[in-house]
């Protein structure tokens, strides 16, 4: 049995299809491609957007008059020390549970 035999490749493809399902294969291929590109960029020394850590200057904290803060407080969500993204995520999660 050699890997250049087409029957082997058909069997491998069938097993992958059974394991992951037809809907998950494009997602798997996309994630493999993204990982490959990130690896190539990292090995070439090219900085990427995902490699930058979140710093205090890149995070946005809402002010007290922000409508997002008012809606979150109305729902009983603590907003002190949280970014807009964290508040929006919590608010969305809480409203979807209702």
Rounded Cα gap, residues 20 and 32, in angstroms: 14
Query: In this structure, is residue 1 part of a structural domain?
Result: no
Q: How many CB atoms lie within 10 A of CB 69?
A: 20
Domain count, the chain: 2
Residues 65 and 39 in one domain: no
What does pTM read for this prediction? 0.39
Query: In this structure, is residue 77 part of a structural domain?
Result: yes
CB 79 within 8 A of CB 72: yes
Q: What is the pLDDT along the chain (98 residues), one digit of tens a residue?
A: 577 888 998 999 889 888 878 778 788 888 899 999 888 888 887 765 654 555 555 556 777 788 888 888 888 888 888 888 888 888 888 888 86
Rounded Cα gap, residues 95 and 91, in angstroms: 6
Residues 42 and 28 in one domain: yes
Domain that holds residue 83: 54-98
Residues 59 and 85 in one domain: yes
Residues 94 and 63 in one domain: yes
């Amino acid at each position: 049995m050699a890997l250049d035999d087409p029957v082997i490749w058909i069997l491998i493809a069938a097993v992958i299809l059974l394991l992951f399902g037809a809907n998950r294969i494009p997602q798997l291929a996309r994630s493999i491609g993204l990982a490959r590109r990130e690896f190539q960029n990292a090995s070439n020394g090219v900085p990427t957007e995902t490699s930058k850590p979140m710093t205090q200057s890149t995070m946005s904290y809402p002010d007290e008059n922000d409508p997002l803060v008012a809606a979150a407080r109305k729902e009983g969500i603590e907003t002190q020390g949280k970014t807009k993204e964290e508040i929006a995520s919590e608010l969305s999660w809480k409203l979807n549970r209702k």
